[in-house]
Amino acid sequence: MKFYLSLFFTVLSLIVNAQVKEFIIVDSLSNKPINAVSAYFTAKNEGTVSNEDGKVKIYFSNPNDKLRLSHVAYNPTEIVLKDYFKLDTIRLSRSSILLMEVAVYDFDLKKKLAELLKKYEQLYLNQPVIYDCTYKESVKVNDSLARLSQVQLKWYDKNYRLDFRKPFDKQNQISLINIDYSKLIENAAEAHKGYVENEYLFKLLHLNFYTLVVNRGTDITIQSINKTANYTKVTFTTPIMEDGEIVMYLNDGIIYFDNATGAISELDFTYDYNNHKENLTSKAGTPYITETKKHHVNLSFKKVEDKWVINTLKSALDGEFTSNNKKEDIKITQEFLITKTQKGVEIPKKEQIDLKKPFYENLAQTTNLDPKIPLTKEEEAFMKKK
């Protein structure tokens, strides 16, 4: 009898370990889906993030585990999974604004950022870590998908402070764990028209890069300061200077400062570029021109124990590609979604992907029917298209 009980519980454990639950996370008032909601188990610091359709896929082994749902614009919510087995929708309520600051022009943003940098190591995780990540990339040509991929990877980061004096690939290493899917349209020229160099991409992953950008701003205008119980939201605009010239305008830049610690918990920047063109030549010898028009970046953090840890990065770059007098709109979207953070050591060289190449060139074309983060309806249609 003892043997059968043991066998029963072993089988039960295997069944439980394989359980998956999907939810749609929506705004409690508008019922619209919420993108980039962090959903993680508080006891294990492990979880996932909702996609643009608000869909989130939860893998769990214990139905009594508590799942924390976090988004800077919404009140944090904790649920016990077993209480939601029969539900497919989770509603989050927006954080209410407590007051609008009157003396917005007395706010010195550069001084605030300088104070944050002085206690940077106290606020943010500053030891070598391995992040388990979902990396997602898409390229649209004239608003139609031309390239789409999602992979699971491990990212080694030395101390979450980018050292601008050292090569980025000496501070950051990536190993590829699994390819959920990777597809290029048959017209190879279309699929290869846009990519972001990894040297720039990895700057976007580090908060101290953005403090450098804002410090290059001139004539910073604070548009508003809003406060909730948890954070202070600062909205501002500024031209960004480089070598004495305005290279872009940071319009409606938003920074959320945590009220308790003073840390930045999220930032949302939109850059409008000022005549940013490059004359290039393809491998086949064909001349072409690229022009960067707009770049939207969102970087968010979550607090784990007493430190803030990177949670998500979303970069969406809009530009134009001109060849043989034909002009096309290009949109490159890249996302890093951190699913687990743990102490780590450097990744062996033989396991690292080549960061000198664009990400997608490290990937074989393949399809997984069970990706860790669900596809949107548009992405599903693209993957099914022959």
pLDDT score recorded for residue 5: 40
Amino acid in position 30 = S
- Confidence category of residue 48, pLDDT binned at 50, 70, 90: confident
How many C-beta atoms lie closer than 10 Å to residue 61's C-beta? 13
Instruction: List, in order, residues 6 or more apart from 153 with CB less than 8 Å away.
Output: 132, 133, 135, 174, 175, 176, 177, 353
Question: Could you give the CA distance from residue 330 to residue 316 in angstroms, rounded to a whole number?
Answer: 10
Convert the pLDDT of each residue in 213-237 to its tens digit.
998 888 899 988 888 888 889 999 9
336 neighbors 133 (Cβ within 8 angstroms): yes
Angle formed at CA 168 by CA 166 and CA 170, multiple of 5 degrees: 75
Name 333's Cβ contacts closer than 8 Å, sequence gap at least 6: 136, 137, 138, 139, 140, 314, 315, 316, 317
Q: At a CB cut-off of 8 Å and minimum separation 6, what does 169 contact?
A: 198, 199, 355, 356
What pTM was estimated for this model as a whole?
0.83
Structure tokens at 77: 């919510």
Comparing 327 with 47, the larger pLDDT belongs to 327
Closest CA to 38 of 258, 369, 342, 303: 303
Q: What are the two backbone dihedrals, phi and then psi, of residue 324, each rounded to the nearest 5 degrees?
A: 55, 40
Q: 2-92 — its CATH code?
A: 2.60.40.1120
Burial of 264 (0-12, 13-18, 19+ CB in 10 A): buried
The whole-angstrom separation of Cα 292 and Cα 274 is 9
Name the residue ranges covered by the structural domains of the chain: 2-92, 99-384
Helix, strand, coil abundance in the chain, percent, nearest 5: 20, 50, 30
| More confidently predicted of 13 and 176 | 176
Residue 361: pLDDT over 70: yes
Strand pairing class (287-304; 264-281) = antiparallel
Averaging pLDDT over each range in 45-59, 81-95, 260-274, 315-329, which range is the top one? 260-274
The closest of 303, 318, 313 to 268, measured between CA atoms, is: 313
Average pLDDT over residues 312-332: 89
pLDDT of residue 122: 94
